[in-house]
Structure 1
Amino acid sequence: MKELRGTGVALVTPFHKDLSVDFDGLTRLIEHCIAGGINYLVALGTTAETATLTIKEKQQIVAHIIKVTNKRLPIVLGVGGNNTAAIVEELTTGNFDGITAILSVSPAYNKPTQEGIYQHFAAISAASPLPIILYNVPGRTSSNMLPVTSARLAGDFENIVAIKEAVNDMAQVLHLIHKVPEDFVVLSGDDALALPLVSAGGSGVISVIGQGLPSYFSQIMNDGLNNAFAKAYQKHLPLLSMIDLIFEEGNPAGIKSLLSHQGICEPYVRLPLMAASDVLHEKIGNALSVIQKS
């Protein structure tokens, strides 16, 4: 899956002040990403506030992303949850025209065993009409898909082609890269660790910061993938403070604040999330000014 190499971005869902979906803002965001050299787009991930979207809104958002992108970039669609049967039904009945792959998160809240996680994705593999990217994010799911489980899935199912690994543990990342098949795509789900993951043999990132600073961040990843690590780290290390800021009060409040400073969309989020505080919004604006001058 060469399409998944490099920098993908987990798109936010822009909202108007009344919290209706801002499709003009979404158009601006897509064009901003394409102009900035992003390699592919991810729709309806966690960053999109998918948990607060209605079924109709999800359908409208995906249709809009496909229309605006107009085949200029691959599109990955988030299809996940903690009800295996419901995901299987969605995969067997849904329309996936215009979608390159699906991103499916390890089940949250249920806290399954490693065997339960394996069987969950085995069922998804049997039902999916598209290649599958596994998604391990223990900070949100309260369970950790271990490298041995990821490697087992990668080896047993041809349509499981990649993983977005968002564990905050480089030792686990290294074990993962070592255990999976050579052609299996390992992507960072943590912007701060994306370049170290690439330096260890990973293939890229599904990013949050990448949609705010697409040219800057995609260049870091491209340099890393071309083994120009000294050059890449010269840009990556100064970016760490901005990455910390956009997650300081939760995602996507911080990235929406950054995007609002650039006139791409407004900073509104839906409850139970809250928009970035005035103090954080100012800090993000100041950090953006520093990056733009560098």
Structure 2
Amino acid sequence: MEKLVGTGVALVTPFKEDFTVDTMALTTIVKHCIDGGVDYLVVLGTTAETATLTEAEKQLVIDTIISANAGTLPLVLGIGGNNTSNVIETIKRRNLDDFIAILSVSPYYNKPTQEGIYQHFKAIAENSPLPVIIYNVPSRTGSNILPSTVLRLANDFGNIIGIKEASGDMAQVMHILKDKPKNFMVISGDDMTALSTVMAGGMGVISVLGQGVPFAFSKMIRLGLQDQVKAAFKLQYALQEGMGLIFEEGNPAGIKAVFEALGIAKSGVRLPLVPASDQLRDKIEKFVKPFAGQHAQ
């Protein structure tokens, strides 16, 4: 799917001082990403603190992003969980008219076997009216989707169109790239290995840092897709410190500190998460300074 080539960003949910959803800041973030040249937006991913949002708040986030985007960029909706029947129920209940695909995280906490993971995504594929992107993020879920399971799903279900691969294991990424069906997309879910994934044959990234510094990050991925290796890696090395900093004390505390440094949104997160420390905020502020005000031509 060509609309998913390049840089997608997993949008945060900004909060006001009282921890209600800050719709004005969210609108500004969407416009910041559009102006910065990203290719698509991911709504209600794990970076959005979806686990701590009520159903009403989730709908508010969806409505705010759709309104702010105004049809400019393709939208992907995160619908995942560790209760398969509940995920299917949510897919059926949501109005998906404004979205081009669903991003669904591998079941967390339950620690299913590879067969369990296969059956989970089989059930989702058979019940989703939209194409499905598998999301593998072992550091969050407690289990890894092995390449053999990914390839089995890719071959068995035409509407499972890709994987957001966030294991950070390039050997695993390359195994999938080597043996995948022709049109199956491998999308990096790990900022640090995003360019390496693209250079190995991946189609892009769903990034966290990319929403904070969209111009530089999306340009790096674009250069990688064009095989402009030296120019792409020059940007990789300029961004690399930030890729580490934003995850130093957990996600999305780091990227929210980026938005506060840019004057776009407050850095508050909901418990059990806590905001970035003062020391980390200082380092993030110094990192962000050279990228402030950059826009796509």
TM-score of the superposition, structure 2-length normalised? 0.97
**Could you tell me how far 1:91 is from its partner in structure 2?**
1.5
- Note the residue ranges of structure 2 that are not aligned, 5 or more in a row: none
Partner of 1:51: 51
State whether structure 2 residue 202 is matched by structure 1 residue 175. Answer: no
Counterpart-to-counterpart distance in 2, 1:15 and 1:272: 15
Counterpart-to-counterpart distance in 2, 1:46 and 1:258: 17
State whether structure 2 residue 209 is matched by structure 1 residue 202. Answer: no
State, as a whole percentage, how many aligned pairs show the same letter. Answer: 55
Q: Deviations over 1:240-294 (max 9, x none)?
A: 1111111100000000001111111110100000011111101111112255699
**Could you tell me how far 1:90 is from its partner in structure 2?**
1.4
**Could you tell me how far 1:93 is from its partner in structure 2?**
2.7
**Could you tell me how far 1:229 is from its partner in structure 2?**
1.0
Q: Deviations over 1:2-49 (max 9, x none)?
A: 111100000000000110000000000000000000000000001000
Counterpart-to-counterpart distance in 2, 1:90 and 1:114: 23
Matches within 5 A, 1:60-79: 60-79=60-79
Q: Deviations over 1:153-178 (max 9, x none)?
A: 11111110011000021111110111
Partner of 1:110: 110
How has the CA–CA distance of structure 1 residues 293 and 98 changed in structure 2, closer, same or farther, with 3 Å as cutoff? closer
Partner of 2:218: 218
Partner of 1:24: 24
**Could you tell me how far 1:70 is from its partner in structure 2?**
1.1
Counterpart-to-counterpart distance in 1, 2:93 and 2:49: 23
Aligned residues: 294
**Could you tell me how far 1:89 is from its partner in structure 2?**
1.2
**Could you tell me how far 1:92 is from its partner in structure 2?**
2.1
2:58 partner letter: K
1:40 partner letter: Y
Counterpart-to-counterpart distance in 2, 1:65 and 1:205: 20
Structure 1 moving runs of 4+ over 6 Å: none
- Note the residue ranges of structure 1 that are not aligned, 5 or more in a row: none
Matches within 5 A, 1:70-89: 70-89=70-89
2:8 partner letter: G
Counterpart-to-counterpart distance in 2, 1:266 and 1:93: 32
Structural RMSD (CA): 1.2
2:227 partner letter: N
Matches within 5 A, 1:1-294: 1-291=1-291
